[in-house]
């Protein structure tokens, strides 16, 4: 059963289209109505939006579980497979979505650390930060779709799976043991290349990304900030997308869990931006999670007959992240 794709793209392309339209409608509603005017996002507002995004993901997971339960019970091809249980397969799919969502949410904390540094470096006022992150999220969605499509093709080959697994293990060890380097956006090769071809004004011009002066087009610090955030997300996607493929081989589950986690990233940033310094030991938890999913990808799945138990994966990941958060809060409070 593990080698069978339960939600093949050929059968669910309409869902992908509908889900994408739904996400774009949510984003249009967000920017067009709730954040039409640039303003500083308060903790209360960000908490409310965080609850909304998380609730949407959980509601989707429940509907997805009920649909899978019905669909598998009606599918004569799947029922003909010896040992196939519709209820167990539906629960497995729902748990894979939940585990993937938690992994992506946890890894997104790394993005928040970057956002805090970059907004501070370019001195972006709080009231314009939402606009930058909004367009950053759209870019992130596009890049994730590309990465997921490539991953669903490449990860059909076992040697590629092992390579990605080893890469995640090495990335985890790097987070655990390598000294942390300060972020300097000005030294980023993409930013340096951009400045060779485009003029950049040192002054923030409201919420504009580009302005015209004396007939010449200038990029503003807001666009440079957005560009750096997009580059950072591509780097993060290299870790997070394979990490979710270590949990499930279903592109539909990888796609939806990734998208729901990204949609809530802005709200999580505004909620945690002021207290990220209290979670300085969380990175070690994220490093251990990447080591675990790398081991799962390259060895544990095969060692357990093709699929490491998803309930064990969920408990291990939640346990590691929870322990690192509790330890961080304990240490910072003590200090």
The model's pTM: 0.91
Q: Is residue 3 part of a domain?
A: no
Q: Is residue 301 part of a domain?
A: yes
Q: What is the DSSP string of 118-129?
A: HHHHTT--HHHH
pLDDT for 267 beyond 70: yes
Q: How many CB atoms lie within 10 A of CB 136?
A: 24
The dihedrals phi and psi of 199, each to the nearest 5 degrees, come to -80, 145
The pLDDT confidence band at residue 278, using thresholds 50, 70 and 90, is confident
Give the mean model confidence (pLDDT) for residues 163-174. 94
Q: Is residue 75 part of a domain?
A: yes
Q: Is residue 136 part of a domain?
A: yes
Q: Provide the residue range defining the domain that includes 118.
A: 9-334
Find, among 289, 277, 285, 291, the residue nearest to 324 by Cα. Answer: 285
Q: Is residue 68 part of a domain?
A: yes
pLDDT for 105 beyond 70: yes
- How far apart CA 194 and CA 201 sit, in angstroms, is 13
Please give the tally of structural domains in the chain: 1
Q: Is residue 158 part of a domain?
A: yes
The pLDDT confidence band at residue 1, using thresholds 50, 70 and 90, is very low
The pLDDT confidence band at residue 57, using thresholds 50, 70 and 90, is very high
**Of the listed ranges 26-30, 57-61, 174-178, the one predicted with least confidence:** 26-30
- How far apart CA 143 and CA 308 sit, in angstroms, is 28
Q: Is residue 4 part of a domain?
A: no
Find, among 332, 333, 324, the residue nearest to 175 by Cα. Answer: 324
Question: If you average pLDDT over each of 122-126, 232-236, 296-300, which comes out highest?
Answer: 296-300
Q: Is residue 210 part of a domain?
A: yes
Half-sphere exposure of 12 (CA within 13 A, CB side): 19
């Amino acid at each position: 059963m593990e080698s069978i794709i339960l939600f093949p793209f050929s059968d669910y392309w309409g869902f992908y289209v509908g889900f994408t339209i739904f996400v774009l409608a949510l984003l249009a509603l967000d920017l067009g109505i709730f954040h039409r005017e640039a303003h500083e996002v308060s903790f209360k507002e960000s908490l409310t939006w965080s609850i909304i995004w998380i609730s949407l993901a959980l509601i989707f997971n429940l509907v997805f579980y009920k649909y899978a339960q019905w669909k598998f019970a009606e599918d004569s091809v799947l029922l003909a497979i010896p040992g196939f249980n519709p209820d167990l397969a539906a629960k497995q799919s729902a748990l894979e979505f939940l585990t993937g969502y938690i992994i992506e949410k946890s890894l997104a904390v790394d993005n928040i650390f970057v956002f805090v540094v970059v907004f501070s470096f370019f001195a972006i006022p709080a009231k314009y930060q939402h606009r930058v992150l909004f367009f950053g999220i759209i870019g992130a969605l596009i890049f994730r779709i590309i990465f997921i499509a490539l991953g669903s093709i490449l990860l059909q080959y076992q040697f590629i799976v092992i390579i990605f697994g080893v890469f995640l293990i090495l990335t985890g060890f790097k987070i655990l043991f390598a000294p942390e380097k300060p972020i300097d956006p000005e030294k980023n090769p993409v930013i340096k290349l951009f400045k060779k071809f485009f003029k950049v004004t040192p002054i923030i011009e409201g919420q504009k990304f580009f302005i015209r002066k004396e007939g010449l087009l200038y990029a503003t610090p807001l666009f440079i900030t957005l560009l750096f955030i997009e580059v950072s997300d591509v780097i993060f996607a290299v870790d997070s997308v394979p990490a979710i493929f270590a949990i499930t081989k279903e592109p539909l589950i990888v796609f939806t869990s990734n998208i729901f986690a990204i949609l809530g990233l802005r709200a999580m940033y505004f909620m945690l931006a002021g207290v990220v310094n209290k979670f300085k030991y969380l990175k070690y938890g994220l490093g251990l999670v990447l080591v675990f999913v790398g081991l799962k990808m390259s060895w544990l799945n095969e060692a357990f007959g093709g699929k490491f138990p998803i309930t064990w994966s969920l408990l291990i990941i939640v346990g590691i992240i929870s322990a690192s958060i509790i330890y961080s809060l304990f240490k910072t409070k003590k200090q």
